[in-house]
Amino acid sequence: DNNQKIMNVMEEIEYGFLDNNRNNICDNVDLEDTFNKVYYLMSPEELLNKKIGVCWDQVELERKLFEENNIKNETYFIYIDDKNNLPSHTFLVYYMNSKVYWFEHSWFDEKGVHEYNNLNDLLNDVEVKFIKSRENEVPKGLDVHIYKYNKPNYNISCNEFYNYIFTQKKIFNFKIETATINDLERIKYYKLKTIVEYAKSLSEEEMTKIDNYICESVPALIKEYKNIIYNKKIIGSILIRKIDDGLLLDEIFIEKEYRNKGIGSSIINDYVLNNDYNIYLWVYKDNIKAFNLYKNLGFKIKEETDSRYYMKFQKF
């Protein structure tokens, strides 16, 4: 098939980069310094001619081959923020038959095609494997960042390539972990803040009822809450509960600094909707951004009150 044909082409490419004397700079003990001085991003045509290139070059050839075969693809850049050498890797993903695939050639230990149900699972797997591959080079616990990038200009230097990447779309690949009793106060704060923000003109009596409700409901449901994790930091929480006709997306909170970055839509697409249930939710009418997000994802209004819409994502 086309994927195997593309891999066959890539198998003709070695890993490295030739200097002006046609020496592979990856054999140099001072690789980082040499690489920064002599490297430039090759075009696919030059790579096919020289038959040797690093991951940055190989991904550009992969991009060209996938585009020629009309296969939807995207390219990503991952790096560990060690404030110095910034160990990095570029890789290509493609979409086919409702699945997403990591196509890897230059990273020898991971060479091949890896299948996933969604992009977030793919990126998390790449991140875990990338960190492990560099565990002897950089300290543990450093932040890892991923960027999705469009085709760059060819013949740019190493520093120009980095500068270009940092103008591209930063990806916030999240992890979902079960909440614990230690998350109680934070989740109660989230819940109260959301209600107060969108339920306008609450009386003192109504506020007391809300406080009592939160103090009772959150501890009772704490084992059903999930934390949203990015770079080992809790950036929000989500609550999904089983109801008679499917699942209720009861709550989703994301810290302010992480909003409007595609995290909410990714969570709903990759985590909430990735099952065989109808999905329901309530959304405040004044929460225009959330309402538009749900509408664009395919939720329809089923009922409404003075302040909220009841929406449904129909699976059956």
| Per-residue confidence in pLDDT tens, the chain, 316 aa | 888 999 999 999 999 888 888 888 777 656 667 788 889 999 999 999 999 999 999 999 999 999 999 999 999 999 999 888 789 999 999 999 989 999 999 999 999 999 999 999 999 999 999 999 999 988 888 999 999 999 999 999 999 999 999 999 999 999 999 999 999 999 999 999 888 888 777 788 988 999 999 999 999 999 999 999 999 999 999 999 999 889 999 999 999 999 989 899 899 988 888 888 999 999 999 889 999 999 999 999 999 998 899 999 987 6
What's the whole-model pTM score? 0.89
- Taking CB atoms within 8 Å and a gap of at least 24, the contacts of 247-255 are 247/272, 247/275, 247/277, 247/278, 247/279, 247/280, 248/279, 248/280, 248/281, 249/279, 249/280, 249/281, 250/281, 251/190, 251/191, 251/194, 253/187, 253/190, 253/191, 253/194, 254/228
